[in-house]
């Protein structure tokens, strides 16, 4: 059933959707009436693919001992056929794993765009730049360092590698005339520890610390809004820039996590946008 569902979901995708699944990057401008079905089709395929990947993984693990035991007790060619089946299942699982889409698309981006649809200017386009390749890439690496040896309780070897992943940004024109820009960036610390026990066995552990930044810029028309004086806030960074026709409020909030696969919470970005709006008040109408 999972195979049929995944195949039908794949057949319904167009060339642009399949390109995004394979390349995991897109930089485009479309209306939300186009973005939501576009990304929703990819999310449906990925959900079907998750079930199929899980099933293939279990079948691969089961087929290996099923081929090994008969090979020991009999000269029948059946074990060879089972191993060939296991190899085919393993290759299928690996190919599906390469086109796996992070859960941030289904659990964060789609709900955010659906919520944004209520406040956006009708028929306006939303610019999105999306990078779902992940943080652990050479072109996203910032620096690597080794922890000094000889410190109390320090492992034999400990290496920290830092990555910066600016994986989502967008621009939208809102119904009140404001222009909303947002960006989500992950600063990832990958720490690899190597230890040796008394028997000489070496163990290696990898841990992560993710500092996620939510950057929001809200540009409003000076004739529509007045910007209140900003007060110091330890929970975020805020600034305002006044222009002749527009004022721009910038807000940055952060959160800390330890799992690369954990998507952002929707309320974190919504809360950052709300912080920008709380400094606004309706400008008095000129008589």
Question: For residues 261 and 235, which has the higher predicted lDDT (pLDDT)?
Answer: 261
Q: Name the maximum alpha-carbon separation found in the chain.
A: 98
Domain co-membership, 89 together with 116 = no
Number of independent structural domains in the chain? 2
Domain boundary among 48, 75, 101: 101
More confident residue, 60 or 44: 44
Q: Please report the beta strands in 85-156, taking only residues with DSSP state E, as ranges in sequence order.
A: 125-131, 141-146
287 is a domain residue:
no
DSSP state of 133: S
Residue pLDDT, tens place only, 151-166: 545 556 788 899 999 9
Q: What is the pTM of this model?
A: 0.80
| Whether residues 274 and 190 fall in one domain | yes
Residues 30 and 85 in one domain: yes
Work out the percent of the chain whose per-residue pLDDT is above 90: 42
Helix (H) or strand (E) holding 64: helix 32-73
Q: CB-based burial of residue 124 (10 Å sphere; 0-12 exposed, 13-18 middle, 19+ buried)?
A: middle
- Which residue in 124, 171, 128 sits closest to 28, CA to CA? 128
Nearest to 9 by CA among 56, 47, 55: 47
Range of weakest confidence among 54-58, 165-169, 188-192, 197-201? 54-58
Same domain, 164 and 250: yes
Least confident of 95-99, 132-136, 193-197, 223-227: 95-99
- Domain shared by 142 and 50, yes or no: no
Q: How confident is the model at residue 229 (pLDDT cuts 50, 70, 90)?
A: confident
Fill in the DSSP letter of residue 177: S
Give the pLDDT band (50/70/90) at residue 9: confident
Q: What is the Cα–Cα distance from 234 to 169, expressed in whole angstroms?
A: 24
The answer to the question of residue 128 being in a domain is: yes
Torsion over CA: 21, 23, 24, 30 (sign): negative
Final residue before a domain boundary, out of 86, 101, 116:
101
173 and 85 both lie in a single domain:
no
Give me the domain span that covers residue 143: 105-282
At residue 284, the pLDDT reads: 75
Q: Is residue 36 part of a domain?
A: yes
User: Are residues 161 and 39 part of one domain?
Assistant: no
Q: Are residues 119 and 25 in the same domain?
A: no
Does any domain span residue 82?
yes
76, 112: one domain: no
Is the pLDDT reported for residue 4 higher than 80? no
Contact 242, 228 (CB under 8 A): no
Do 92 and 128 have their domain in common? no
Residues of the chain above pLDDT 70, percent? 74
Specify the residue for token string 């110091």. 232
* Confidence grade of residue 73 (pLDDT, cut at 50, 70, 90): low
């Amino acid at each position: 059933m999972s195979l049929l569902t995944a195949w039908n979901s794949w057949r319904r995708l167009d060339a642009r959707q399949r390109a995004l699944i394979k390349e995991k990057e897109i930089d485009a401008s479309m209306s939300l009436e186009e973005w939501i079905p576009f990304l929703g089709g990819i999310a449906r395929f990925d959900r079907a693919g998750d079930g199929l990947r899980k099933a293939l993984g279990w079948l691969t693990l089961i087929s290996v001992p099923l081929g090994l035991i008969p090979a020991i007790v009999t000269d029948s060619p059946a074990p060879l056929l089972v191993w060939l089946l296991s190899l085919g299942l393993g290759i299928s699982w690996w190919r599906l794993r390469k086109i796996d889409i992070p859960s941030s698309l289904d659990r964060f981006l789609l709900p955010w765009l659906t919520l944004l649809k209520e406040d956006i200017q009708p028929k306006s386009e939303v610019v999105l730049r999306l990078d779902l390749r992940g943080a652990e890439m050479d072109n996203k690496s910032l620096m690597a360092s080794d922890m000094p040896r000889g410190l109390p309780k320090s492992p034999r070897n400990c290496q920290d590698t830092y990555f910066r992943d600016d994986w989502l940004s967008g621009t939208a024109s809102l119904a009140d005339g404001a222009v909303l820009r947002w960006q989500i960036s992950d600063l990832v610390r990958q720490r690899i520890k190597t230890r040796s026990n008394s028997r000489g066995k070496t163990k290696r552990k990898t841990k992560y610390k993710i500092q996620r930044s939510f950057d929001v810029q809200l540009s409003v028309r000076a004739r529509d809004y007045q910007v209140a004086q900003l007060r110091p806030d330890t929970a975020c960074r805020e600034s305002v820039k006044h222009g002749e026709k527009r004022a721009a409020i910038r807000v940055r909030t952060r959160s800390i996590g330890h799992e690369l696969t954990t998507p952002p919470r929707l309320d974190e970005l919504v809360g950052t946008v709300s912080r920008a709006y709380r400094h606004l008040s309706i400008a008095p109408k000129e008589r």
